[in-house]
A and B are shown apart, each in its own frame.
Chain A
Amino acid sequence: MLKVENLEVYYGMINAIKGVSFHVEKGEVIALIGANGAGKTTILHTITGLVKAKAGNITFNDVNLLKTPAHKIVGMGMAHVPEGRRIFQELTVYENLMLGAYTRKDGKEISADLEKIYKRFPRLEERKTQIAGTLSGGEQQMLAMGRALMSKPNIILMDEPSMGLSPLYVNEIFDIIKEISNSGTTILLVEQNAKKALAIADRAYVLETGKIVLEGDADKLMNDDKVKKAYLGE
């Protein structure tokens, strides 16, 4: 479904991504784990067109994403929940959710999907007229997820959904990711919380300073000595 081949990304003179290749198949949950600065966020930003690649290939359902303008990608069925959530702080919860459906034209189904999202995140419904910037971190993360779901995506890229959240919220967020996956949406998950990420992923890739150093089934990686030492704190 999503294929990244020999991706190279530069920030000025700095080579941030050094020939990364991976693929995501329909229905999978793929985790991309690694330390701060390994290039996880850069990869997601390159996939959705916010950062330009220097070399390599990214195809989504056989369409070349590197040649697709960023604003056209969500309409192709790919949503991105960015790092730091990046909800629209000055708009209401409802307005944020509706911006998620910006490219859709099926008015009736949009309302039906909005109801579904309110059902999944009751707190968002309670606060639908509230300014999004006043929500708590966990609620903002839910809003960012709800906003992404409003585009009716086939695949969601999630960037550090657990960042800065209390343990209670972290569990809740991972439960929700699991639910989204169970309802048939493919997920590419970037996380520093390797333990949690590996627990829900089918396969995973370990990224170190712009390169993939390990890949494989999530349960195998979980028992890998190197992974245990470096990322699971055992």
Chain B
Amino acid sequence: MQQFCEQLLNGLNLGSVYALIALGYTMVYGIAKMLNFAHGDIIMVGAYTLLIASTRSGLPWYVSVLLCAVVCCVLGVSIEKIAYKPLRNASPLTVLITAIGVSYFLQSSALLIFGSNKQKVDSIIKIKGFTFAGINVSGESIVTLGVTVIIMIVLTLFIKKTKMGKAMLAVSEDKGAAQLMGVNVNATISATFAIGSALAAVAGILYMSSYGFVGPYTGALPGIKAFVAAVLGGIGSIPGAMLGGILLGIIESMAKTYISTDLADAIVFGILIVVLLFRPTGLLGKKRVEKV
């Protein structure tokens, strides 16, 4: 029981990171109708920024966090402007291949600048954990869960209550009609990339606080897993990304403990296949009739 609870906590922890990344995937997909496969690598850039700002330069944690968010935001918006915007009317396949290209570009740049060795990033979370009924709750877990819950609440309120959020929903449903309402579609897409990238920065920081090492390919696997989480929850759906991320984290953590460490990833991807067989639109995805 104690082991189960600890693994559940671990799963929630990992799932929170997946959920934060999946939110970026799903928001960009919902609004720009593209899969931004470079999204995972934003986490890596965030982690390197943290390495330089906090571990190497010793800046205070809040300055480091802010710096990570700003660097990732600027990077995300620039990628969209330079690589994706000229392809706004191109075929989805072209955009997809471009996104994979951007991903390689970011990884190779990191390889050139930082080398292939993984480097240790010190956790910026200094809160002490506690033991409750024999279960160890680490400071990292408390902060990760707390931050994720706050972000989810704020993001949901932002989408539901603000004008900008409504504009995002409108653009995601019908770009043309949104323009007729006076919504600036390009600005909305930029804002989406900015928010998604900032969430990726936070995910990168939390990921580093638990795993501690950054390399040029650090973002690749969590990026793919978060993509799976977004599809599992129903791509384009914000609650879906949250649910998918958390579920995936718990499944992975449980599979590692109770089945096999080696098979854990296979199980995660296997579940995606099974879910898609029975619910092609994901758990919370809506079936939308495409009108011509």
Is residue A42 contacting chain B, with contact meaning CB distance below 8 A? no
Question: Does B182 lie within 8 Å of A72, measured CB to CB?
Answer: yes
Known: A82-B176, A82-B177, A84-B291. A90 touches B183 (CB 8 A): no
Of the candidates B173, B176, B180, the one whose C-beta lies within 8 Å of that of A89 is B173
- Which of B167, B169, B174, B181 has most chain A Cβ within 10 Å? B181
Closest chain A residue, CB of each to CB of B171 = A88
Is residue B163 contacting chain A, with contact meaning CB distance below 8 A? yes
| Residues 165-220 of B at the A interface (beta carbon under 8 Å) | 166-167, 169-170, 173-174, 176-185
Is residue A116 contacting chain B, with contact meaning CB distance below 8 A? no
**CB-defined contacts of B291 to chain A, threshold 8 Å:** 84
Question: Does A102 lie within 8 Å of B177, measured CB to CB?
Answer: no
Of the candidates B173, B180, B184, the one whose C-beta lies within 8 Å of that of A90 is B173
Of the candidates B166, B169, B184, the one whose C-beta lies within 8 Å of that of A71 is B184
Question: Does B176 lie within 8 Å of A102, measured CB to CB?
Answer: no
Total chain A interface residues with beta-carbon distance under 8 A: 28
Question: Does B174 lie within 8 Å of A102, measured CB to CB?
Answer: no
Is residue A75 contacting chain B, with contact meaning CB distance below 8 A? yes
A45 to chain B, nearest CB (A): 8
Question: Does A82 lie within 8 Å of B180, measured CB to CB?
Answer: yes
**CB-defined contacts of A79 to chain B, threshold 8 Å:** 180
* Tally of A-B Cβ pairs under 8 angstroms: 64
Question: Does B182 lie within 8 Å of A98, measured CB to CB?
Answer: no
Roughly how many angstroms separate A91 CA and B169 CA in the complex, as a whole number?
8
Of the candidates A87, A89, A151, the one whose C-beta lies within 8 Å of that of B182 is A151
A70 to chain B, nearest CB (A): 4
Roughly how many angstroms separate A74 CA and B182 CA in the complex, as a whole number?
6
B86 to chain A, nearest CB (A): 16
Question: Does B170 lie within 8 Å of A88, measured CB to CB?
Answer: yes
Roughly how many angstroms separate A99 CA and B163 CA in the complex, as a whole number?
8
Closest chain A residue, CB of each to CB of B179 = A70
Of the candidates A49, A80, A89, A98, the one whose C-beta lies within 8 Å of that of B166 is A98
Question: Does A86 lie within 8 Å of B169, measured CB to CB?
Answer: no
Is residue B286 contacting chain A, with contact meaning CB distance below 8 A? yes
Is residue A230 contacting chain B, with contact meaning CB distance below 8 A? no
| Chain A 52-77 interface mask (CB, 8 Å, partner B; 1/0) | 00000000000000000111111100
A74 to chain B, nearest CB (A): 4
Is residue A146 contacting chain B, with contact meaning CB distance below 8 A? no
Roughly how many angstroms separate A69 CA and B173 CA in the complex, as a whole number?
20
- Which of A49, A80, A88, A103 has most chain B Cβ within 10 Å? A88
Roughly how many angstroms separate A99 CA and B181 CA in the complex, as a whole number?
6
**CB-defined contacts of B170 to chain A, threshold 8 Å:** 88, 91, 99
Known: A71-B184, A71-B185. 15 other contacts (CB 8 A): A50-B179, A71-B179, A79-B180, A84-B291, A86-B176, A86-B180, A88-B169, A88-B177, A90-B169, A91-B166, A91-B170, A91-B173, A102-B166, A103-B181, A103-B182
